[in-house]
Amino acid sequence: MKITSFQKAGFGLTEVVIGTGLFLVIALSLVVTLTSFLQRTLQHTPELQASFLLEEGMEVVRFFRDQSWSASLGGGWSEGVPYAAVFNGSEWYMVSTSTPMIDATFLRTITYAPVERDAEDNIVYPGGSVVSPVANDPNTKKVVVSVAWFREGATTTKSMEAYFSDLFEN
């Protein structure tokens, strides 16, 4: 009489169940990771766009400074007044009456302020220590570019500041 063993027949079904379970766990973790990545990317897109708009604002100021210091930072614009840089398709211009929205989302303002220097020709920062008498430097201006946008029930603002000098004496 011959005895037959059937132990290997159920082993294939166990492999299929374990393999399917392992595949589902890996696939589910990949889906969760990709979903999280896409959500974070979409959350940071406005911040990236705002950074580009800040850089562009500084470039516009640099463009006007290079064209004519006296017509822009040297006296053509009013100190402390928020300006907007507008591109009409062929040229840049600055407006102070109304600040247009960019892509119906962002509001960019450009302001500038006078710079004061001490006797050692160092820039005097507000609240900083002063070495000696302070004098206005008419050939240097502090420019602040700000970009604001509305997100998740609040306004988010990013700013960048730089100092511009009358390099070309124009």
- Model confidence over 82-105: pLDDT tens digits? 999 999 889 999 998 787 899 999
85 lies in some domain:
yes
Confidence (pLDDT) at 130: 64
61 lies in some domain:
yes
170 lies in some domain:
no
The mean pLDDT of 53-80, rounded to a whole number, is 92
Specify whether the CB–CB gap between 100 and 86 falls below 8 A: yes
Per DSSP, what are the bridge partners of residue 95?
A: 84
124 lies in some domain:
yes
Is the pTM higher than 0.85?
no
Q: How confident is the model at residue 125 (pLDDT cuts 50, 70, 90)?
A: confident
The upper half-sphere exposure of residue 149, i.e. CA atoms within 13 Å in the direction of its Cβ, equals: 21
Specify whether the CB–CB gap between 138 and 148 falls below 8 A: no
Q: Which of 118, 120, 117, 78 is nearest to 96 (CA)?
A: 78
pLDDT at 8 exceeding the cut of 60: no
Residue the block writes with tokens 């997100």 = 151
Residue the block writes with tokens 């005097």 = 124
5 lies in some domain:
no
Number of domains composing the chain: 1
Confidence (pLDDT) at 129: 64
The upper half-sphere exposure of residue 76, i.e. CA atoms within 13 Å in the direction of its Cβ, equals: 15
pLDDT at 17 exceeding the cut of 70: yes
Confidence (pLDDT) at 144: 96
112 lies in some domain:
yes
User: What single letter denotes the amino acid at residue 156?
Assistant: T
Hey, is 94 helix, strand or coil?
A: strand
34 lies in some domain:
yes
Confidence (pLDDT) at 40: 84
Structural domain for 25, as ranges = 11-165
pLDDT at 9 exceeding the cut of 60: no
Please tell me the distance from the alpha carbon of residue 86 to that of residue 160, in angstroms, as a whole number.
18
1 lies in some domain:
no
pLDDT at 15 exceeding the cut of 90: no
Specify whether the CB–CB gap between 85 and 92 falls below 8 A: yes
Confidence (pLDDT) at 34: 93
Mean pLDDT of the chain: 88
Confidence (pLDDT) at 96: 87
Phi, psi of 160 (to 5 degrees): -140, 135
pLDDT at 132 exceeding the cut of 90: no
The mean pLDDT of 39-56, rounded to a whole number, is 90
pLDDT at 16 exceeding the cut of 90: no
